[in-house]
Chains A and B, each alone.
Chain A
Amino acid sequence: MSPGQSRRSLALVHLVLAGYTVVALFPVLLVVINSLKTRRAIFTEPLGLPFGAAFDLVGYQTVLAQGDFANYYANSLIVTVVALGLILLLGAAAAHALAEYRFRLNTFFAIYLIIGIMVPIRLGTVAILELMVELSLVNTLLALILVYTAQGLPIAVFIFTEFMRSLSRDIKDSARMDGLSEYRIFLEVVLPLIRPVIATVAVFSMIPIWNDLWFPLILAPGEATKTVTLGVQQFIGQYTVNWNAVLAALTIAILPVLALYALFSRQLIRGITAGAVK
């Protein structure tokens, strides 16, 4: 390929990527813009910017005035953070076992977990609900945490295992020679080495949990355990929808995802491209 040609194809690649970025960001931008406008402005000029007469914070005032909303937000955060922590810790530990040790059921467990990726957890909703009723966990955050951990584990284990297989055996053996126990090898040697992948799995696992409406609606619809996605529903009435409040609530709900992404983005990109470019 001549330099001119490669520059042209590079431009094309960027054009396609830029196009995709616009498509992906447009709805988000629309939500944020309209959350700052009056109800009238939302309907008359959905694409207009929130300046002058159109500017209004009534949505945020409504959301924040609802005392419960802080509670919903806390619920969402607790569920997401705890489930995410469990997914990462248990997923990495399971992957370490699958990648590092030879034992009888190794292949069986690996395949069993892949089935977990292929079969959506929602198919088991009825059984899960029955189980939670039996365990008296309905309307508790623990119910959600357990379900989300189960939901996130298969793919996390799968990604971690693939990456851990590529880690050098020598470095783990070296740690064994240094007298580390198998647990400390996992915590002090393996975990620091897979940091980029942890970031990737964290982002991939977090978003579906944060955005989920299904399980909060079924397992924890009580006032005390409502999550943000469920809480927003109160602004969507049978006859009228309080768009200002809905959009404001959604805008606030985007923030943690953005923060997480900003935190992990560098590691995330390294994790996604690891193996692809090396």
Chain B
Amino acid sequence: MARLELDGVVKHYGRTEVIRGVDLTVEDGAFCVFVGPSGCGKSTLLRMIAGLEDITDGEALIDGERINERGPADRGLAMVFQTYALYPHKTVYGNMAFALRHAGVAKAVIDRQVRDAAAILGLDGLLERYPRQLSGGQRQRVAIGRAIVRNPRIFLFDEPLSNLDAALRVQMRVEILRLHQRLGTTMIYVTHDQVEAMTLADKIVVLNGGRIEQVGAPMQLYQHPANLFVARFIGSPTMNVLPVTPVGLEGGVARVRTAAGTAVEVPVAEAVTAENTQFGVRPEQLRVLDADVDGDGVFRGVAQVVERLGGETLLHVALGDDAIIVVKAAGGSAHRVGDPVVVAPEDGAGHLFDGTGRCVDRLMPAARA
């Protein structure tokens, strides 16, 4: 168990700056997820923590101790890789025991630890098999077992579920979560999948272009994104974003108008600048109304695509001005392609973003009342 601190961490490859100054604290026992689009530097950052990449500038500390100069094996970390990275010429037992054997641990101790880890992961019957005789899920479990056996201070996961099929991914996700609850060890997990990030993390770190966009608990990021990037990245389907013109600010409520003339009210805690303001609202914050509802607070359009997911239906509604908004409607929605659709945001839902993409502070519900 350990607490990790990154202080102004920078990584250069030649002249290209891949990580541009990251400050982060991961508390003892936390499940921290690095998430971001491909090429955002999340894997590089993890590999720097692991010691597989040098830290060009800045400091990494575990429990207050600087680890920049320590080799990967001397940091007390264990890592699970996307491609499992099992030794193909060693059995499951051999794979799990390898690091301990190398460290000169007594045979009896190794045996007990390997069998304990195997029991946790349900690998008991597979210890004599070779990796090629295992399924993808079993291989990833062995890889996790190999990490557990080392009893690390921090677990590092580099997109561990990306090579698994969808059903297995969901199952392994739950298993990793259970493992975290059981071991209570600090875990740092890299993924590009925001669903994995939301479901696993205590703390999500959204990275973009080698910089941290926002750090926070999953629901904090979902409800209070710091900027347009985080707002769009967290949540599925992605947030609808429309350009708007501010028309008034009164009693902590900003009034904005879309190009098509729809007026929306968003409670804000600060003034809204006039230029390039955008309004964002999540598909689940929109309600479908009867087609004959009138008023200037509604969006009118035509259903262009209807995705039926069973429990819910996603309507892609083409508005008059070429914009498309996605609405999460009931599973039994009767809408068909070409039908006129009228939707309105829930009262006070949505965010305003200023010209730089920063999210305008929302008035907290308590403050409003």
Contacts and interface: CB of A to CB of B under 8 A. Distances in A.
Contacts of A176: 51-52, 71-73
B79 to A, nearest CB: 5
Contacts of B72: 173, 176-177, 179
A192 interface: yes
A120 to B, nearest CB: 37
B156 to A, nearest CB: 8
Interface stretch (B80-88, B112-120, B295-303): B80-88
Nearest to B83: A170
Interface stretch (B96-104, B248-256, B278-286, B338-346): B96-104
A175 B82 CA distance: 15
Contacts of A117: none
B99 A178 contact: yes
A180 B50 CA distance: 14
Contacts of B71: 176, 179
Contact of B52 (A171, A173, A178): A173
B103 A170 contact: no
A14 B50 CA distance: 53
Given A171-B87, A193-B88, A178 B82 contact: no
B73 A179 contact: yes
B191 to A, nearest CB: 16
A164 to B, nearest CB: 15
Given A176-B52, A176-B73, A178-B73, A170 B102 contact: no
Task: Among A168, A171, A177, A192, find the residue whose CB has the most chain B CB atoms closer than 10 A.
Answer: A177
Given A178-B73, A179-B103, A173 B98 contact: no
A114 B321 CA distance: 62
Interface in A140-175: 168, 170-171, 173-175
B83 A192 contact: no
Nearest to B81: A170
A189 B81 contact: no
Interface string B188-225: 00000000000000000000000000000000000000
Contact of A173 (B79, B87, B102): B79
B49 to A, nearest CB: 11
A192 B89 contact: yes
A177 B103 contact: no
A180 B85 contact: no
Contacts of B47: 173
Contact of B81 (A173, A179, A192): A173
B62 interface: no
B87 A189 contact: yes
A189 B94 CA distance: 13
A177 B85 CA distance: 11
Interface in A180-211: 180, 189, 192-193
B193 to A, nearest CB: 19
A168 B74 CA distance: 23
Contacts of B82: 170
Contacts of B103: 179
Interface in B13-59: 47, 50-52
Nearest to A172: B85
A69 B358 CA distance: 88
Interface string B59-95: 0000000000001111001110111111111000000
Contacts of A179: 71-74, 99, 102-103
A180 B102 contact: yes
A179 B71 CA distance: 8
B83 A168 contact: yes
A177 B79 contact: yes
Contacts of B78: 177
A180 B73 CA distance: 8
Contacts of B85: 168, 170-171, 173-174
B50 A177 contact: yes
Nearest to A193: B88
Contact of B79 (A168, A174, A192): A174
A192 B98 CA distance: 15
A171 B52 CA distance: 12
Contacts of A173: 47, 50, 52, 72, 79, 81, 85
Contacts of B51: 176
A193 B47 CA distance: 23
Contacts of A189: 87
A177 B77 contact: yes
A189 B84 CA distance: 15
Nearest to B78: A177
Interface of A: 168, 170-171, 173-180, 189, 192-193
7 A-B pairs with the lowest CB-CB distances in the bound complex, closest first: A179-B73, A170-B85, A178-B99, A174-B85, A170-B81, A171-B85, A192-B89
12 contacts: A168-B85, A171-B86, A173-B47, A173-B50, A173-B81, A176-B73, A178-B98, A178-B99, A179-B74, A179-B99, A192-B87, A192-B88
Given A171-B81, A177-B52, A179-B103, 15 more contacts: A170-B81, A171-B85, A171-B86, A173-B47, A173-B50, A176-B71, A176-B73, A177-B77, A177-B79, A178-B73, A178-B98, A178-B102, A179-B74, A192-B89, A193-B89
